[in-house]
Amino acid sequence: PQAFDVDRIRADFPILAQQIRNKPLVYLDNAATSQKPSSVISAEQLYYEQFNSNVHRAAHALADRATIAFEGARERVRVFLNANSTQEIIWVKGATEGINLVAQSWGRENLKPGDVILVSMLEHHANIVPWQQVALQTGATVQPVLVTPEGDIDLDDYRSKLTTKVRLVAVSHVSNALGTINPVADMIRLAHDVGAKVLVDGAQATPHLMVDVQALDCDFYVFSSHKVFGPTGIGALYGKQALLEAMPPWQTGGEMIERVSFDGTTFNQLPFKFEAGTPAIAQAVGLTAALDYLGLMDRQAAEAHEQALLARATEVSRDIPGLQLVGTARNKVSVLSFNIDGIHSNDIGTLLDQQGIAIRSGHHCTQPLMSHFGITGTARASFAFYNTMAEVDALFSGLQKIVKIYG
């Protein structure tokens, strides 16, 4: 395959050219948030310079332009997920808000005492706590599916817990803490066999994998713009149209109504029924630019490049005395989680930062997973397509230095 031109790609991301503490920035915290190409930054600037107006009240030219751009962004997301219709794409603040919407709208309407919500042990808190809340409200219970020592979802445990009491399975497409790619297509098929719906948390999958919600046949899918090289403050919820039609509104107010009177209020059609208030318009425009950027990229080559970074990082990690990898699943995106004997993960993070290297340390919003492994956290390096082999080497020479200081 043709070599992936990382240098050319890096030139599109102005932030990467920075020095931090007089060292070139090595940004390896992409699972927390990704950097933005110039096209995203300039799309937002252009929006504010030439389009800025409120949407869906097209009494004047600017409002018209803003609405066209905003609804164009929805169509761009539809294509990105391969949804059937833009009516199935609901704007939210991000993955977290998308999950809360489904929990509070679908969950409150459909769950009753005795019902089970199955989540996996490796979920982000965003895909656990909203289900615990709706369980408290409805009398349903939340049950965790075990993970193997390698960090895969234990499919035998999944099958055994997938009874007809299960109304919903909530599972991440990719684990943020470990990078495991979960076999969601199989899990969805099995869930549908017992009549359960499935929500897939795609926050960590969308930056790495091509997603097709129709091929997956998931009932709901959520992602956050800021993880896919777009702006913060926006994301999308995909839901199958029939499910969304039957769900009550969650947040209420302007935009989501059809007619309001003191005798009662009727609600707007999809997707607006779920979009109360002025939405994140500039961010939607920025997200369009981000998805266009990804659309022009050879995503297979990008993924191959990321896998090469992961393979090298995994390989050289063996040379660090006392380093243990956490999460060694065969199917992984480019995330390396680890601990080093005798050094707290937060200290690894701080000492790397002094060398201009940005990683994340701690529990990664996955406390149940960390307790399952008997640890309190990990150091996590997460690679994007704009990272280089030289940066992988910088990480590991940084770790060598730290181990020497502690040794």
Quick one: 178 exposed, middle or buried, by C-beta within 10 A (0-12, 13-18, 19+)? buried
Which residue, 224 or 288, is less far from ligand PMP as judged by CB?
224
Is 67 among the residues that bind ligand PMP (CB under 6 A)? Answer: no
Single out the segment in contact with ligand PMP by CB under 6 A; choices: 122-130, 151-159, 265-273, 385-393.
Answer: 122-130
Considering only residues 225 to 254 of the shown chain, the ones binding ligand PMP according to CB under 6 A are: 226
Which residue, 87 or 224, is less far from ligand PMP as judged by CB?
224
Is 95 among the residues that bind ligand PMP (CB under 6 A)? Answer: yes
Report the run of H or E that residue 222 belongs to, with start and end: strand 220-224
Is 29 among the residues that bind ligand PMP (CB under 6 A)? Answer: no
What is the nearest approach in angstroms of ligand PMP to the Cβ of residue 203?
Answer: 4
Which residue, 178 or 357, is less far from ligand PMP as judged by CB?
178
How far apart CA 327 and CA 148 sit, in angstroms, is: 9
Is 176 among the residues that bind ligand PMP (CB under 6 A)? Answer: yes
Q: Is residue 256 a contact partner of residue 92, using CB atoms and an 8 Å limit?
A: no
Is 103 among the residues that bind ligand PMP (CB under 6 A)? Answer: no
Is 197 among the residues that bind ligand PMP (CB under 6 A)? Answer: no
Q: Which alpha helices (H) appear in 139-196, and where do they start and end?
A: 155-161, 184-193
- 365 assigned to active site: yes
Is 126 among the residues that bind ligand PMP (CB under 6 A)? Answer: yes
Is 345 among the residues that bind ligand PMP (CB under 6 A)? Answer: no
Task: Tokens 């910088």: give the residue.
Answer: 394
Token readout for 104 is: 């509070």
Is 182 among the residues that bind ligand PMP (CB under 6 A)? Answer: no
Single out the segment in contact with ligand PMP by CB under 6 A; choices: 93-101, 150-158, 179-187, 338-346.
Answer: 93-101
Query: Cβ atoms within 10 A of the Cβ of 76, count?
Result: 20
Which residue, 291 or 365, is less far from ligand PMP as judged by CB?
365
Q: Which amino acid is at 204?
A: Q
Report the run of H or E that residue 324 belongs to, with start and end: strand 323-325
Is 208 among the residues that bind ligand PMP (CB under 6 A)? Answer: no
Query: Cβ atoms within 10 A of the Cβ of 163, count?
Result: 12
Give the end-to-end CA distance of the chain in Å, rounded to a whole number.
43
How far apart CA 377 and CA 370 sit, in angstroms, is: 6
Q: Is residue 267 a contact partner of residue 258, using CB atoms and an 8 Å limit?
A: yes
What is the nearest approach in angstroms of ligand PMP to the Cβ of residue 204?
Answer: 5
Spot the catalytic one: 9, 99, 128, 365: 365
* φ/ψ of residue 169, rounded to 5: -110, 130
What is the nearest approach in angstroms of ligand PMP to the Cβ of residue 365?
Answer: 6
Residues 189, 213, 225, CA angle at the centre, nearest 5°?
135
Q: Using the rule CB under 6 A, which residue among 74, 124, 360, 380 binds ligand PMP? A: 124
* φ/ψ of residue 81, rounded to 5: -95, -5
Q: Using the rule CB under 6 A, which residue among 6, 128, 203, 352 binds ligand PMP? A: 203
Interacting residue ranges for ligand PMP, rule: CB under 6 A: 94-96, 124, 126-127, 172, 176, 201, 203-204, 224, 226, 365
Active site residues: 365
